[in-house]
């Protein structure tokens, strides 16, 4: 009887301790023991790499005798880094520090808060994403016919000779054009003519884009970024089609408007990326909205062009780079999958932006 009484007392003490160490009265589903509750970040919260003004809230009443509190971020059950400095224990904190680029991306992050006295709390799992880069589509290996043929609608001499390009490997390309918000958070400026976080960045030269890409690649520990080659761009745009446009040969406003912003439907401006229908490989605004820079030096035609999909960066019109896709200011012929354009490396246009390819480190 005495042994049974001692066992019952031990169980009761353990239950009381568990309740005190977790004021919500429920065992955290993350398996981490907490002395107080963290409300934000909650399950489903998404932080972006390089984001500032991240909000953290917690129940400060169980630790109201503590003056200061600190924070760190864990990936899985391993410490990643301290996050910010000691701050006043008020139950809420807006971190002005950027979410460090050393984190990479994933959905297995937790915030750990702790006091000088040793009280500790863990948030639910939350996600860190690349800063509004959006998704990437994997473009499969394969071959396609690049350019256009005489007799095709609005064929231009610079789109000849019609030639086969073969990609031995797949590659990943952004589903959308780069947003202004992304550019601002990487470069701390917004050069665009029309302002809006979800509008495509424009008024950027090819040289500006190279600097942006170098800075972004230094921030991301998992990927390097670059502009697509002209062949990659057309292959991704066509998405296994060989028609004038990726939706077919119909160049009427009724056929184009579901897929591309151009002169007849744009009201003289850019539009938020991803607002229309994508092509068969999930790429938005690949025709219209803004032109997109490519790696390649501009050549007058495809005589001698690489057949492996790589960028053509020798010879040609030195100082000029290729632009693709047409824009909000153009008519239908400039939205064709084969249409080519050029601009000086240090020149910019209110109708030209970029789309990125990424490669693992």
pLDDT tens, 322-343?
Answer: 999 999 999 999 999 999 999 9
Which percentage of the chain shows pLDDT scores above 70?
Answer: 89
What is the pLDDT of the chain when averaged over all its residues?
Answer: 88
Domain boundaries along the sequence of the chain: 26-129, 136-360
Across-strand partners of 40?
57
Which percentage of the chain shows pLDDT scores above 90?
Answer: 74
Q: For domain 136-360, give the fold.
A: 3.90.1580
Q: Which pLDDT belongs to residue 23?
A: 34
Q: Which pLDDT band holds residue 132 (cuts at 50, 70, 90)? A: low
Identify the residue with better confidence: 17 or 221.
221
Model pTM above 0.85: no
Which value, in Å, is the radius of gyration of the alpha carbons in the chain? 27
Question: Which of 31-40, 96-105, 147-156 has the highest mean predicted lDDT (pLDDT)?
Answer: 147-156
Q: Which pLDDT belongs to residue 181?
A: 85
Residue 6 has pLDDT above 70, yes or no: no
Residue 7 has pLDDT above 80, yes or no: no
Residue 17 has pLDDT above 90, yes or no: no
Q: Which pLDDT belongs to residue 151?
A: 95
**46: phi > 0 → left, psi -120 to 50 → alpha, else beta; which?**
beta
Q: Is 181 in a helix, a strand, or coil?
A: helix
Q: Which residue shows structure tokens 């012929």?
A: 333
pLDDT tens, 51-85?
Answer: 778 999 999 999 999 999 999 999 887 877 888 88
Q: Which pLDDT band holds residue 102 (cuts at 50, 70, 90)? A: low
Homologous superfamily of domain range 26-129:
Macroglobulin (MG2) domain (2.60.40.1930)
Q: Which pLDDT belongs to residue 220?
A: 76
Q: Across residues 281-308, what is the average pLDDT?
A: 98
Exposure letters 300-335 (e unless 16+ CB within 10 A, then b) = eebeebbeebbbbeeebeeebbbbbbbbbbbebebb
């Amino acid at each position: 009887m005495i042994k049974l009484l001692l066992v019952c007392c031990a169980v009761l003490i353990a239950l009381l301790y568990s309740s005190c160490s977790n004021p919500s009265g429920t065992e955290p589903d993350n398996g981490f023991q907490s002395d107080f509750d963290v409300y934000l970040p909650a399950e489903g919260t998404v932080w972006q790499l390089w984001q500032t003004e991240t909000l953290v809230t917690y129940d400060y009443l169980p630790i109201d005798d503590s003056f200061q509190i600190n924070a760190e971020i864990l990936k899985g059950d391993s410490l990643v880094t301290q996050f910010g400095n000691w701050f006043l224990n008020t139950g809420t904190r807006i971190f002005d520090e950027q979410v460090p680029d050393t984190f990479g991306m994933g959905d297995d992050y937790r915030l750990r808060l702790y006091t000088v006295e040793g009280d500790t709390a863990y948030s639910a799992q939350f996600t860190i994403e690349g800063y509004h880069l959006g998704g990437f589509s994997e473009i499969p290996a394969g071959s396609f016919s690049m350019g256009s043929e005489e007799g095709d609608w609005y064929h231009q001499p610079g789109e000849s000779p019609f030639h086969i390009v073969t990609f031995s490997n797949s590659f990943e390309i952004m589903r959308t054009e780069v947003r202004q918000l992304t550019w601002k958070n990487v470069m701390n400026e917004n050069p665009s003519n029309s302002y809006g976080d979800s509008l495509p960045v424009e008024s950027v030269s090819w040289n500006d884009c190279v600097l942006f890409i170098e800075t972004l690649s230094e921030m991301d520990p998992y990927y390097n970024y670059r502009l697509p080659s002209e062949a990659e761009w057309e292959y991704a745009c066509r998405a296994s089609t060989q028609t004038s446009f990726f939706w077919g040969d119909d160049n009427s406003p009724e056929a184009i408007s579901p897929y591309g912003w151009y002169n007849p439907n744009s009201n003289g401006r850019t539009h938020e990326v991803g607002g229309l229908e994508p092509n068969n490989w999930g790429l938005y605004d690949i025709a219209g909205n803004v032109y997109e820079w490519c790696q390649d030096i501009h050549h007058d035609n495809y005589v001698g062009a690489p057949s492996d999909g790589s960028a053509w960066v020798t010879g040609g019109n030195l100082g000029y780079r290729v632009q693709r896709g047409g824009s909000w200011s153009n008519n239908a012929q400039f939205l064709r999958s084969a249409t080519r354009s050029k601009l000086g490396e240090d020149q910019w246009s209110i109708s030209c932006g970029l789309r990125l390819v990424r490669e693992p480190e």
